[in-house]
Amino acid sequence: MNGHQRRFTGTHMLAIMVAFFSVIIAVNLTMAFFARSSWSGFVVENTYVASQQFNRKAAEGRAQAALGWKPELTMAGGEIRYRLIDGGGDIVAASQVTAHFRRPVSDAQDQELVLAVQPDGSFSAPVDLGDGAWIVEIHSEAGIGHPYRDVRRLSLQDGG
């Protein structure tokens, strides 16, 4: 071993600190860029109006639950199929069913479908969704004074 040892100086410490904080700042800027570019941040147009509608929506939800209807949703083979079953096991007649698909963090792939009535009383439509997380909100006009609303979170793999 030679007698010459390198000393740790203030310049070395400065270089370490600059490198450390440069990495932290670069990661934060990258994450901020992707967060800003992937989601619009739009939830409701007017938060005051949305807050005023909360009690009405809660009452509608309680009335809907009191009906005892069971919604059935299936997705397979590039098709969505939906129906409502009443407490007696019969299909609830609906005049129109729409399904709105959206990603949890982006509005770039949103889709709205009008489902067509089938001979068995269910409603269906072709759908082409990518794999991953989706939120589907289904509205059924079932003659109860307001649409029957069904919201679900789906995780799709291989289109179903």
Does the pLDDT at position 159 exceed 70?
no
CATH 3.10.450.50 assigned to domain 47-156? The reply is: no
- Mean pLDDT for the chain overall: 86
Q: Is the pLDDT higher at 49 or at 122?
A: 122
Radius of gyration of the chain (CA): 26
Q: pTM above 0.85?
A: no
Distance of CA 4 to the CA centre of its chain: 64
